[in-house]
A and B are shown apart, each in its own frame.
Chain A
């Protein structure tokens, strides 16, 4: 980018980029642990946390009461988080702002890479696309169709893949690649 590449950055800028990428990596690990413990990482876990509460009786429209016997084992024995709409709104706005800004900063670092334009465009798009799939998938699962839960898993993985690729390229070019003299 205008002759400025990761390889040519001053030492202080290299330290900044490295520490930023390292910090975001730790943040990703913490987010992964939070998702694994509070929600779970499987398709079924995502559906259970995000899908609308399904009726346990056949209470139809126009009916005011319905009852049926249940096995107490049908009730969840684990203390699980169920993401209701107000929490989904809160999660969406914080994650859309936060993840998009992180994706933007990761993209800025990648822009300074000496990789080809198409490669950079494809890789820097991953965290943005992942964020949109992730949050969009949550809303679609809740309000449109439960199988959209797969988008939450795909979105999270796409964001992580984008981060890993950008971090790997950046670390290589910051510290290992020799500057090319034209």
Chain B
């Protein structure tokens, strides 16, 4: 009977370990809000033809971005979806950028006009853990506050956002989204505009 007690103790102990492990280190399932196609179509209205441009930043460009904006782009290649009209003129570009936080990834689609100004932005993916923090702000379309700003503008949180969600976590994640929108404008500025624009 002593062996039986040892066996049972082992089983109960393991069950407790599993419970603790699952509750502490659970994976937070992703929440995908918008498909890539819908995000691109939504921010390139008036386009009749679509192009994909992939850019690799030079080390000089990475240095310039880090010096000027305090962020160093680490990805090997950045991708822009370009919408053009019948005449081949750029209507808008859309890029997808992700920030990996301790509560999971936040992915944003950023639409930029040919002049480098933000035309629109959508949070396309976050996690079940971060979604409740951002939902009140998403319901108010807070990303629209950044429309019309270019890479040199301020991308801080507006008074509207601070009033709507005064808690720290919504504001923390709203700032991450705002930074991603600014990064989209920065990349377009450096990798498209400064290299001769969005001509085909």
Q: Is B195 interfacial (CB 8 A cutoff)?
A: yes
Distance to closest chain B CB from A112 (angstroms)? 7
Binds B, one of A64-72, A115-123, A141-149, A159-167: A64-72
Known: A38-B29, A64-B56, A97-B25. A75 touches B51 (CB 8 A): no
Q: Specify which chain A residues have a CB less than 8 angstroms from the CB of B27 in the assembled complex.
A: 90-91, 94-95
In Å, the complex CA distance between A102 and B36 comes to 37
In Å, the complex CA distance between A15 and B191 comes to 65
Size category of the binding interface on chain B: 35 or more
Q: Are A98 and B58 in contact (CB under 8 A)?
A: no
Q: Are B10 and A108 in contact (CB under 8 A)?
A: yes
Known: A55-B77, A65-B191, A76-B37. A2 touches B25 (CB 8 A): no
Q: Are A87 and B30 in contact (CB under 8 A)?
A: yes
Q: Choose from B14, B125, B200 the contact partner of A67 (Cβ within 8 Å).
A: B200
Which residues of chain A (86-108) have a CB below 8 Å from chain B? 86-87, 90-91, 93-95, 97-98, 101-102, 104-105, 108
Known: A72-B40, A94-B25. A59 touches B54 (CB 8 A): yes
Binds B, one of A40-48, A77-85, A150-158: A77-85
Q: Is A56 interfacial (CB 8 A cutoff)?
A: yes
Q: Specify which chain A residues have a CB less than 8 angstroms from the CB of B79 in the assembled complex.
A: 56
Known: A64-B56, A65-B195, A105-B11. A77 touches B22 (CB 8 A): no
Q: Specify which chain A residues have a CB less than 8 angstroms from the CB of B8 in the assembled complex.
A: 13, 16
Q: Are A78 and B35 in contact (CB under 8 A)?
A: yes
Secondary structure at the A interface, as helix, strand, loop or mixed, is mixed
Q: Specify which chain B residues have a CB less than 8 angstroms from the CB of A56 in the assembled complex.
A: 52, 54, 79
Q: Are A65 and B34 in contact (CB under 8 A)?
A: no
Q: Choose from B12, B18, B26, B33 the contact partner of A101 (Cβ within 8 Å).
A: B18
Q: Is A9 interfacial (CB 8 A cutoff)?
A: yes
Residues of A in contact (CB 8 Å), total 51
Secondary structure at the B interface, as helix, strand, loop or mixed, is mixed
Q: Is B98 interfacial (CB 8 A cutoff)?
A: yes
Q: Specify which chain A residues have a CB less than 8 angstroms from the CB of B52 in the assembled complex.
A: 56-57, 67-68, 70
Q: Are B191 and A79 in contact (CB under 8 A)?
A: no
Distance to closest chain A CB from B125 (angstroms)? 8
Q: Choose from A3, A38, A87, A94 the contact partner of B105 (Cβ within 8 Å).
A: A87
In Å, the complex CA distance between A56 and B82 comes to 13
Chosen A-B contacts, 11 in total, with CB atoms closer than 8 Å, are A3-B3, A16-B12, A65-B53, A76-B35, A79-B124, A80-B32, A87-B30, A90-B27, A90-B104, A97-B25, A108-B7
User: Hey, which bits of chain A sit against chain B, CB under 8 A?
Assistant: 1-4, 9-10, 13, 16-17, 20, 34, 38, 55-57, 59, 63-73, 75-81, 84, 86-87, 90-91, 93-95, 97-98, 101-102, 104-105, 108-109, 112
7 closest Cβ pairs, A-B complex? A79-B32, A75-B37, A67-B53, A86-B100, A56-B52, A77-B37, A101-B18
